[in-house]
Amino acid sequence: MDFIHVEGVSKAYADHHVLNELTLDIHKGECFTLLGPSGCGKTVLLRLIAGFEVPDQGKLYIDETLVSDPGEHINVPPENRAIGVVFQDYAVWPHMTVFDNIAYPLKIAKCPKDEIEKRVMEMVDLVAMRGLEKRFPSELSGGQQQRVALARALVAKPNLLLLDEPIANLDANLREEMRFEIKELQRKLGVTVLYVTHDQEIGLAISDRVAIMNNEGVIQQIGTPYEIFEKPVNPFVFSFMGIANFLNVRMENGQYLAGTGSQAVPWEKPENPAGVVDWVAGFRPSDVRISRTPEAGKSLKGIIRRANFLGAMMDYLVEIDGTTLRTNLETHRAISENLLFEAGDECYISFLDLHWFEAEKLKGAILE
Ligand SMILES: Nc1ncnc2c1ncn2[C@@H]1O[C@H](COP(=O)(O)OP(=O)(O)OP(=O)(O)O)[C@@H](O)[C@H]1O
Ligand SMILES: [Mg+2]
């Protein structure tokens, strides 16, 4: 059995069914990220695993121990689950110093004083807070408070660390730094991490495996970051994993034509045994190649509708027979390869990678 085994777990609040017979396995020692839109049930799942909530039905195992089973009236309390938790607001106690915040779980567990002293200072070093242990949270930056919350979650040497959007409130630079620190900590300590967030970038950067949950609390795909990004199983996963472009394509007389025009798409066609007419070719801006001259049998003609200089990148809005798409290109390449376009210029578009979706199935699956 896997380290965490969630088996057919359901949870509702009044008549709102947040999780319906959810099943999920997390391996020992891995960093597993649950990604999903706001309100889909990520925090609810963490609270169930931590033991702050009881499922309506289903079973929950941690390290082969059955910790929740409402059918059998089993519900191991949070303090006996050997879990460290950092919740969304990462609240550290404002009236306690850094030292006392981190020491708190050990005091509750009635650890001897000299052991508390030793273990807290180990944690202080681990999160690079040496010299700040007598400060109060109001005297710390957001990132430092975050590290205190992490140290507090880790001090009791949990086997499992549950992190709920722990760095969402930090600025972009600190967020980047913290996500590598979290990954580093996980490697050093070998602790199993379940990280929940709606931030795709973090999910891709730190995880061994990622699960994508939709608005109804249903897991759509589980895989490595590469699999999720490159082989999305459906349009929801595809559009959730970053800016997505969609080119309308229709089948006419066995040909696949772009937009409302008559250019046949020169790439691999979808499998289409049912003869579906309306399709959408999905791709990311980084999968688009733009040039001034056609590539025989590979490109479509378009018109630049907007050209934006974003410093390191050029951002183009291109229209192909009534459908617009976005692409970008490094500015230095644009200059050296004569690809500095202006609105109104003609261009040719080809693709490195492309995902076919039936237009009908795309409706309601796209987030933006
Ligand atoms: N105690 C509760 N009582 C009633 N409804 C709740 C309760 N806790 C959560 N919910 C509802 O359950 C749904 C899922 O909530 P949850 O907090 O798990 O979302 P989330 O995926 O963590 O979202 P976010 O990314 O915004 O944190 C929401 O619609 C929320 O309103
Ligand atoms: Mg949440």
Instruction: Let me know if residue 160 belongs to a domain.
Output: yes
Higher pLDDT, 142 or 251: 251
What domain range is 114 assigned to? 4-239
Contacts of 114 (CB under 8 A, 6+ apart): none
Secondary structure of residue 106 in the 3-state scheme: helix
Whether residue 90 has pLDDT greater than 70: no
pLDDT of res. 243: 67
The structure tokens 């086997």 sit at 159
One domain, residues 224 and 260: no
Whether residue 236 has pLDDT greater than 90: no
Cα 68 to averaged position of ligand 1 atoms, centre (Å): 20
CB of 53 closer than 8 Å to CB of 67: no
> Whose CA is closest to 258, among 321, 352, 326?
321
Confidence of residue 107 (pLDDT cuts 50, 70, 90): very high
One domain, residues 90 and 111: yes
Mean pLDDT of 116-143: 92
Q: For residue 254, what is the domain's CATH number?
A: 2.40.50.100
Q: How far apart are CA 260 and CA 252, in angstroms?
A: 11
Residue of 10, 17, 44, 87 best suited for mutating to test ligand 1, as the one with most atoms within 8 Å of CB? 44
For the stretch 134-145, pLDDT in tens is 999 999 988 888
Instruction: Let me know if residue 368 belongs to a domain.
Output: no
CB of 48 closer than 8 Å to CB of 55: yes
Residue of 43, 163, 240 best suited for mutating to test ligand 1, as the one with most atoms within 8 Å of CB? 43
For the stretch 202-221, pLDDT in tens is 888 899 999 999 999 999 99
Whether residue 316 has pLDDT greater than 70: yes
One domain, residues 140 and 91: yes
The ligand whose atoms approach the alpha carbon of 39 most closely is: 1
> Whose CA is closest to 33, among 238, 219, 244, 231?
219
One domain, residues 150 and 252: no
Residue of 15, 18, 199, 214 best suited for mutating to test ligand 1, as the one with most atoms within 8 Å of CB? 18
One domain, residues 152 and 217: yes
Q: What's the chain's average pLDDT? A: 90
One domain, residues 20 and 96: yes
One domain, residues 173 and 203: yes
For the stretch 142-177, pLDDT in tens is 888 888 998 999 898 888 999 998 777 677 777 787
Instruction: Let me know if residue 144 belongs to a domain.
Output: yes
pLDDT of res. 365: 58
Neighbours of ion ligand 2 (CB under 5 A): 42-43
One domain, residues 89 and 181: yes
Share of the chain above pLDDT 90, in %: 61
Confidence of residue 124 (pLDDT cuts 50, 70, 90): very high
> Whose CA is closest to 105, among 80, 141, 88?
80
Cα 195 to averaged position of ligand 2 atoms, centre (Å): 11
Tokens of 262: 């008559």
One domain, residues 127 and 166: yes
Q: Which residues form ligand 1's pocket by a CB distance below 6 Å?
A: 13, 18, 36, 38-44, 88, 198
Instruction: Let me know if residue 312 belongs to a domain.
Output: yes
Q: How far apart are CA 318 and CA 304, in angstroms?
A: 5
Residue 134 burial by CB count (10 A; 0-12/13-18/19+): exposed, middle or buried?
exposed
Which residue's CA is the nearest one to ligand 1's atom 8?
44
Instruction: Specify the amino acid at residue 218.
Output: V
Q: How many domains does the chain have?
A: 2
One domain, residues 138 and 37: yes
What is the pTM (predicted TM-score) of this model? Answer: 0.81
Q: What are phi and psi of 361, to 5 degrees?
A: -75, -15
